[in-house]
Homo-oligomer: A and B are copies of this chain.
Amino acid sequence: MERTTIKNIAEQAGVSITTVSCVLNGREMRISNATKKKVIKIANELDYHPNQLAVGLITKKTNTIGLIIPDISNTFFGELAKGAENRAAELGYNVFLCNTNDSTEKDLDYLRALLDRGVDGVILVPSGRGKDEKSPECFKLLDSCQKSFVILDRTKTGDKYLGISLDHKGGGFIATDYLIKNGHKKIGCITGPLGMLNSYRRYQGYVEALSKAGIKYDDCLVKEGNYHISDGVELAESLFRKKVTAIFACNDLMAFGVFQAARKRGLRIPEDLSIVGFDDITYSEFMEVPLTTIRQPALEMGKCAVEKVVEMINNPDYKRDKIIFEPKLIERNSVKNIGGDTDGSKERA
C-alpha cells in the first residue's frame, strides 16, 4: 500500500496534476464542476493526504513548531508543554518536543535540528544557570535564522525577544509579605540557583518585602538550592538551626523537601513551622498539609506561547512585546498566624 500521490489521482481522473492540485487547494481558476467533483471523489476513494515534506519544501511552511524544554517530566514544564501542544493542535500545528535536560548544548543542537526541519517557529525555555557556554551561540542562531520564536518562562532582562514569563519578583514579594502579615519575622528563604534570573527575582521579592516591613535582612537565613526536593531537605536543616518560624521555598518541590525535613525533626506544620512555596503544581494541594503557594498559570503560559509564535508567523513584523503573567497567592494550610495584623491572616489547624 504505497501512499497515493497527486499523480495517481491525476491519472485516474484523466486530468493533469495541476488540475488536481488546484481543486484540492481550492485555487480560484473556475474549474468545471464536473472535473472538480471527479477529482474530489477519487481523492477520497484513494484516501489521499498530501505529503507534507513536499508541501513544506515548496511552500516554505510546515505548520510545525519546535518546543525546547529543560525537563518534560517536571510537572511545571509538563503543563507548559501540554498547554502549548493543545493550543498548537487547535491552530493546526504539530510540535516537535525537545528535552534538553537543562543543557545549553542541547538547546543549540535542537535548535539547529528544528531549523533543518523547517519549523515555522520555535518556543524556547532556555537551559542553564546563567553563565552557559552554548547559550550565546543559541541566541545568535535564533537572531539570524529569521524565524518566529518566543522565549518562555526563562526570559532575560532587557532582551529584545518576545518573552513570556511571570512577575517572579512580585511573586516572591507576595509570598514573603503574606508570611510577614501572619506575624513572622524570622523567615528563611530557600532560593533557586541565583544565576538564573527568575530565581534571583523571587529572591529580590523576598528582600523587598522584608525591607518594606522594616525587618532586617539576614544573609544567614538565605540558602541557595537547585529546585530539587533534596535541596529542600538539606537546606531546611540549617534553617531550623537558625530558629526560623517560617520558610519561603522558591518552588513547591523544595517546599516538599522542607515538609520532609520538618517531619524528621518532629516539627509540625504549620504549628511549628510555616511554609510558602512557588508554582502551585498539581500535587501541592494534596500534601499532608495542603501547601500555601504562589501560582504560576503554566497551562495558560504554554498556550500563550504558541498563540504568540503563530501570530508572529502570520505577521512577521509583529511587535515583540513582553508578556508578564501575574503571580497569585493560593492560600491553603501551611501557614500559621503567629500574631500579625489580621488582614491576610488565616486561622486553621
Q: Is the CB of B116 within 8 A of A49?
A: yes
Which chain A residues numbered 89 to 128 have a C-beta less than 8 Å away from chain B? 89, 94-99, 101, 106, 110, 112-118
Min distance, Cβ A73 to any Cβ of chain B, angstroms: 4
Kindly state whether residue A29 has any CB partner on chain B within 8 Å.
Answer: no
Known: A73-B75, A81-B97, A96-B95. A89 touches B106 (CB 8 A): yes
Q: Is the CB of A96 within 8 A of B99?
A: no
The docked-state distance in angstroms from the alpha carbon of A94 to that of B100 is: 12
Kindly state whether residue A177 has any CB partner on chain B within 8 Å.
Answer: no
Kindly state whether residue A129 has any CB partner on chain B within 8 Å.
Answer: no
Which among A71, A113, A259 has the greatest number of chain B C-beta atoms within 10 A? A113
The docked-state distance in angstroms from the alpha carbon of A118 to that of B64 is: 13
- Select one of B79, B81, B283 contacting A283, CB under 8 A: B283
Q: Point out the residues of chain B lying under 8 angstroms from A229, CB to CB.
A: 286
Q: Point out the residues of chain B lying under 8 angstroms from A54, CB to CB.
A: 57
22 contacts between A and B (CB under 8 A): A1-B145, A49-B115, A49-B116, A50-B116, A51-B57, A52-B113, A53-B62, A53-B118, A57-B57, A64-B117, A73-B299, A74-B78, A85-B98, A86-B99, A89-B106, A96-B96, A96-B97, A259-B286, A259-B288, A283-B283, A288-B288, A288-B289
The docked-state distance in angstroms from the alpha carbon of A81 to that of B257 is: 25
Q: Is the CB of A82 within 8 A of B89?
A: no
Which chain A residues numbered 61 to 75 have a C-beta less than 8 Å away from chain B? 62, 64, 67, 71-75
Q: Point out the residues of chain B lying under 8 angstroms from A95, CB to CB.
A: 96-97
Contact-size category for A = 35 or more
- Select one of B85, B98, B118 contacting A72, CB under 8 A: B85
Q: Point out the residues of chain B lying under 8 angstroms from A99, CB to CB.
A: 81-82, 85-86, 89
A interface, over-half SS: helix
Kindly state whether residue A315 has any CB partner on chain B within 8 Å.
Answer: no
Min distance, Cβ A149 to any Cβ of chain B, angstroms: 15
Kindly state whether residue A256 has any CB partner on chain B within 8 Å.
Answer: yes
By beta carbon, the residue of chain B nearest A286 is B256
Known: A75-B73, A97-B85. A57 touches B53 (CB 8 A): yes
Residues on A facing B (Cβ under 8 Å): 1, 3, 49-54, 56-57, 62, 64, 67, 71-75, 78-79, 81-82, 85-86, 89, 94-99, 101, 106, 110, 112-118, 144-146, 229, 256-257, 259-260, 263, 282-283, 286-289, 299
Q: Point out the residues of chain B lying under 8 angstroms from A118, CB to CB.
A: 51-53
Min distance, Cβ A210 to any Cβ of chain B, angstroms: 29
Q: Is the CB of A112 within 8 A of B73?
A: no
Known: A51-B116, A229-B286. A146 touches B1 (CB 8 A): yes
By beta carbon, the residue of chain B nearest A257 is B286
Min distance, Cβ A140 to any Cβ of chain B, angstroms: 11
Known: A95-B97, A96-B94. A73 touches B62 (CB 8 A): no
The docked-state distance in angstroms from the alpha carbon of A116 to that of B94 is: 11
The docked-state distance in angstroms from the alpha carbon of A144 to that of B46 is: 13
The docked-state distance in angstroms from the alpha carbon of A289 to that of B260 is: 10
Min distance, Cβ A190 to any Cβ of chain B, angstroms: 15
Q: Point out the residues of chain B lying under 8 angstroms from A53, CB to CB.
A: 53, 56-57, 62, 117-118
Q: Point out the residues of chain B lying under 8 angstroms from A145, CB to CB.
A: 1
Which among A64, A71, A73 has the greatest number of chain B C-beta atoms within 10 A? A73
